[in-house]
Structure 1
Amino acid sequence: MTDLHDFATAVPTDFREWVQGRPAEPELSGDDWLARLPHWTAECADAWDLRADGPVWHGVCAVVIPCHRAGEPVVLKISWPHEEARLEHLALQHWAGRGAVRLLAADPSHWAMLLEPLQHDRNLNDVNLLEACEVIGGLMRRLDRPATPQFTRLSDEIDRWIPLCRNGSPLVPRRLTEQAASTLEGLRDGCDGRLVHQDLHFENVLAGEREPWLAIDPKPLSGEWAFAVAPLLWNRWTEATRADNLRAHLRLRLGVVAEAAGIDEDRALAWSLVRLVTNALWEAQEPHPGQTELSQWITVAKAMTE
C-alpha cells in the first residue's frame, strides 16, 4: 500500500472485529469510528504529505501505519476515541522525545499523531526481567516533570475509587476491598502534580534508533510515579507463575523499579494494592467477568498484603 486513500481495506481483521459493535464512547461507536477511519486517514495523509510504507499494524486501541514524509520514515497513529488517549499528544509534547517516542505532529480532532518510527516488534519482553525493570525505573526518572492543569488529577480518581472499594463485590475478598479503601485515604496527600505515564509496562517500551528504549502510549495523568509501578507486576505473568515464591518475586520487581526510579517503595506497594483491587472490582462488574483476569488481580493483590 502506497496511498493512504486506499486505507479502507487495510485495517487488520482482528482489530476490526474487536472494534465492531463496541458501545458508544464519548465520540463514536466502534462501527461509526471504523466508517470514518478511511476518511480521517486520507485527511491526515493530505495534511502531512504522507505515503504509506508497509502493512498496517495495531495495538489494543489504535491502528499504526508506517509512512514516509519527504523521504523520511514516520509513523501515523490513529486511536480509537477513549478518555485515556485524549491527552496522549500533550504528554508526548511535554516530554519532547526525552525518554518517550518523539511527537512530530498531532490532530486531536482525528485522534491522530505523527510519530518517529520505532521497532514495534522489539520491546522489553525481550530483555531479562530485572534488567527490564531497571530500564523502566530509569525511564520514570527521565519522564518525571510537573504536570500541567489539563491532565486528570490522581486525587480526583481517589474520590471515585473509595466508594468503589467500600461497595465491594461478592467476587473480590472483602478484606482486600476494605484495605484498599483504607489505603486510599492515606495516599491523598502529595499524590498530584507530576506528569505520569500510568501504563508503563514492558510492551509499552520499544527499541529506537536515537535511544535504546523509548516509552509509548502514555495514558497520562497528574499524579505520582509510585502509582505507575503496578503494571509491571501483572505483565510478564508467566514468569511470575513459575517463581518458587510469588510474593518474593513480585516484591523484587517492585523494589528494583522503585530503586531505579528513586520513588518510595512503600507508596509504590500501597498504590499497587489499590490498582489491583480496583481492577478486580471493575472486572467483577462486567456482565461476564473474565475468571482468569479476576483471579490474577486477586492473586497479585494478596501478594502485596501478605
Structure 2
Amino acid sequence: MTIELPAAVRAMSDRGPDWARWVETLPGWTQSQLHEWELRVDGAPTHGTTSLVLPVLTPQGRPAMLKMGFPDADSEHEHLALRRWAGHGTVRLLSAQPHRRALLLDRLHSRDLTTIPDVEACAVVCDLYRRIHVPALPQLRTLTTWLELQTADLAQLPRNTPLPRRLIEQALTLGHDLIGDPAADGTLLHTDLHYENVLAACSDTAQPWLVIDPKPLAGDPHFEIAPLLWNRWQELAGDVRDGVRRRFYTIIDAAQFDEDRARAWVILRMVHNAVWELREATRPDPAWLTVCVAVAKAVQD
C-alpha cells in the first residue's frame, strides 16, 4: 500500500532542506518499517509536531502506534528513556529502530490533559513526575551542558535586545549558579511534559494517565515545570499573573519541590525561550515573547 502523508506532515518540508528530505523519504521508510515488523495499518495516519503516527496492529493483533520521527537531537534518546521507564507512568515501548527514529508503541486513548481543569491537570503531572524521575541514563546529554551553551549565548546579547534587562541579568546569575551545582544533572527528565503529552490509558485503571513524547536529558526535576505554565495560555486571559502562580504553587506543593529552585529554572527556561525566538525565528512572534516575559515575572512578583 502507498502511505499518504497528512497535509500537516507534507507541510513540514517548508521548515528547511533537512525536513524536505525527511518528508520525501518518509513514505518509503514507513512502508519498510511496516514490513519489517509485520504490522497492519489500522486507521488513518496522524502526526505530532515532528513525526508521523500511524495506527497499526501487531502480528498478534495488539493495537499499537507506529511513530516515525524527524531525526533531530531532541529525539535521539527517546527510545532509551521509554525502555528505562518500561511503561511505569509512560506509554509502553514495544520495539524501536533508532536509526530510522521508528518506535512501536502501545496505543493509548486520544484524550489528553487539556480535557480537565488546568490545576487538576498539574496535580496529575506531579504524580507522573514521581514515576518517571529516576536516575539518569549515562548516554543522555546533560542539562548543565545545555545551560553552559545557553548562558554563554546570553552573555553575548547586545544591550538593546528587546527583553527586560533585569531578566537577562537575573538569568545570567542563575545560570552560573546552577552550572556548578552537582544536583542539576542526576535525574532522567522528559523536558517537554505538558498537557497534550499526557494521554488517557485505554484500559489500565491503575495508571489512568500516561506520558508520551519525551525529549530526554539528564538534569534537575525542577526543570520540568515551565511547560505547564506556558501551555493552555488562552485560558489565563485576564488573569495571567494569578493563573500562572496558581499553577506554579500547585506543582510546588504536589511535587514537594523546592520553591526557589523551581523559580530559578522557570526564569531560565522562559528567558532562553525568548532569546531563541529572537535569534532563530525569521519573524519573531511578539505574542510568544510576551508569554515568556509574563511567566518569568509571574513566578517572582
TM-score under structure 1 normalisation?
Answer: 0.92
Residue 40 of structure 1, CA deviation: 1.0
1:63-85 CA distance string (max 9 Å, x none): 10000112111110001111101
Residue 60 of structure 1, CA deviation: 0.6
The aligned length equals 292
Choose from 49, 52, 75 the match for 1:85.
75
Residue 32 of structure 1, CA deviation: 1.2
Q: Percent identity?
A: 41
Residue 229 of structure 1, CA deviation: 0.2
Which consecutive unaligned segments of at least 5 residues does structure 2 have? Answer: none
1:266-294 CA distance string (max 9 Å, x none): 21111000000000001011231111111
Residue 207 of structure 1, CA deviation: 0.5
Residues 1:182 and 2:161 aligned together: no
Q: 1:11: which partner in 2?
A: 5
Q: 1:250: which partner in 2?
A: 244
Alpha-carbon separation, structure 2, partners of 1:38 and 1:14: 14
Q: 2:84: which partner in 1?
A: 94
Please tell me whether the aligned partners of residues 193 and 222 of structure 1 are also in contact (alpha carbons under 8 angstroms): yes
Q: 1:110: which partner in 2?
A: 100
2:77 counterpart letter in structure 1 = L
Choose from 210, 217, 220 the match for 2:216.
220
Alpha-carbon separation, structure 2, partners of 1:274 and 1:153: 16
Q: 1:171: which partner in 2?
A: 162
Please tell me whether the aligned partners of residues 66 and 103 of structure 2 are also in contact (alpha carbons under 8 angstroms): yes
Please tell me whether the aligned partners of residues 192 and 224 of structure 1 are also in contact (alpha carbons under 8 angstroms): yes
Residues 1:132 and 2:121 aligned together: yes
1:237-274 CA distance string (max 9 Å, x none): 0122232xx32321221121122223212211110000
1:38-67 CA distance string (max 9 Å, x none): 121111111111010111001111110000
Secondary structure of 1:139 counterpart: helix
Q: 2:140: which partner in 1?
A: 151
Correspondence 1:211-290 to 2 at 5 A = 211-243=207-239, 246-285=240-279, 286-290=281-285
TM-score under structure 2 normalisation?
Answer: 0.94
Secondary structure of 2:53 counterpart: strand
Residue 167 of structure 1, CA deviation: 2.4
1:163-197 CA distance string (max 9 Å, x none): 22222352211111110110112223110110011
1:228 counterpart letter in structure 2 = E
Q: 2:55: which partner in 1?
A: 66
Please tell me whether the aligned partners of residues 226 and 265 of structure 1 are also in contact (alpha carbons under 8 angstroms): no
Choose from 31, 34, 39 the match for 2:23.
34
Secondary structure of 1:31 counterpart: helix
Please tell me whether the aligned partners of residues 141 and 262 of structure 1 are also in contact (alpha carbons under 8 angstroms): no
2:210 counterpart letter in structure 1 = L
Alpha-carbon separation, structure 1, partners of 2:63 and 2:43: 11
Alpha-carbon separation, structure 2, partners of 1:215 and 1:187: 27
Alpha-carbon separation, structure 1, partners of 2:128 and 2:253: 12
Alpha-carbon separation, structure 1, partners of 2:165 and 2:290: 15
Secondary structure of 1:233 counterpart: helix
2:32 counterpart letter in structure 1 = E
Please tell me whether the aligned partners of residues 234 and 296 of structure 1 are also in contact (alpha carbons under 8 angstroms): yes
Residue 119 of structure 1, CA deviation: 1.4
Please tell me whether the aligned partners of residues 78 and 214 of structure 2 are also in contact (alpha carbons under 8 angstroms): yes
Secondary structure of 1:20 counterpart: helix
Secondary structure of 1:78 counterpart: strand
Secondary structure of 2:32 counterpart: helix
Alpha-carbon separation, structure 1, partners of 2:66 and 2:103: 6
> Runs ≥4 in structure 1, deviation > 6 angstroms?
none
1:133-172 CA distance string (max 9 Å, x none): 0000110011111111111111111211112222235221
Please tell me whether the aligned partners of residues 191 and 215 of structure 2 are also in contact (alpha carbons under 8 angstroms): yes
Please tell me whether the aligned partners of residues 191 and 223 of structure 2 are also in contact (alpha carbons under 8 angstroms): yes
Residue 128 of structure 1, CA deviation: 1.4
